[in-house]
């Protein structure tokens, strides 16, 4: 469990760093060019690391449903939407929304047992947790009201 938590923390860190880098790249080129660069470099790095660490076993693929082969296409949407979202909203707010959306959909798919997941019951504490997360996102974005001048300020 600790290893899983550690890996999730590292993934969150890497996603944040990648988002910032992608945002800088998209300032110099178009968003689809950014997506092609990011996914192309990811492909080359993944292929190289796979061959290096797994050898010929890297090319030993088990049978799976055909639609699984197209999962990488979701990466195009992920990178494009995150880059554009960061450009429009700023990194913290955009990533907060991405994380909230990710949690909501993961909870929905877990509860429904979609995509071959083991069905997990939707309990009140999960509803409270998601609601708290969304409330926190709203609070995070709210700007403080300007305070009135008091006699001590004058």
pLDDT digits (tens, 9 = 90+) for 94-136: 888 888 898 899 889 989 988 878 898 999 999 998 899 888 8
Helix, coil or strand: residue 12: helix
- pLDDT tier at 93 (50, 70, 90 boundaries)? confident
3-class secondary structure, 78? helix
Res 137: pLDDT: 81
Residues in CB range of 75: below 8 A, 6 or more apart: 39, 42
The answer to whether the Cα torsion of 49, 53, 54, 55 is positive or negative is positive
Q: What is the DSSP string of 27-58?
A: HHS-HHHHHHHHHHHHHHHHHHHHHHHHGGGG
What is the mean predicted confidence (pLDDT) over 19-32?
88
Say whether pLDDT at 150 is over 70. no
pLDDT at 4 over 70: yes
* Backbone torsions φ then ψ of 150, nearest 5 degrees: -105, 170
Helix (H) / strand (E) element for 61: namely none
pLDDT of 71 reads: 85
User: pLDDT value at position 42?
Assistant: 92
Which has more pLDDT, 23 or 143? Answer: 23
To the nearest whole percent, how much of the chain has pLDDT over 90? Answer: 33
pLDDT tens per residue, range 46-85: 999 999 999 999 998 888 888 888 888 898 999 899 999 9
């Amino acid at each position: 469990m600790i290893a899983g938590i550690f890996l999730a923390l590292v993934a969150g860190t890497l996603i944040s760093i990648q988002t910032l880098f992608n945002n800088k790249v998209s300032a110099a080129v178009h968003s689809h060019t950014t997506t092609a660069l990011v996914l192309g470099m990811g492909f080359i790095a993944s292929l190289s690391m796979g061959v290096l660490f797994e050898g010929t076993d890297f090319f030993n693929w088990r049978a799976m449903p055909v639609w699984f082969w197209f999962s990488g296409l979701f990466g195009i949407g992920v990178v494009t939407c995150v880059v554009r979202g960061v450009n429009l909203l700023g990194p913290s707010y955009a990533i907060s929304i991405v994380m909230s959306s990710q949690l909501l959909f993961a909870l929905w798919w877990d509860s429904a047992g979609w995509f071959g997941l083991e069905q997990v019951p939707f309990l009140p504490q999960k509803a409270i947790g998601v609601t708290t997360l969304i409330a926190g996102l709203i609070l995070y974005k709210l700007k403080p009201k300007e305070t009135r001048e008091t006699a001590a300020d004058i």
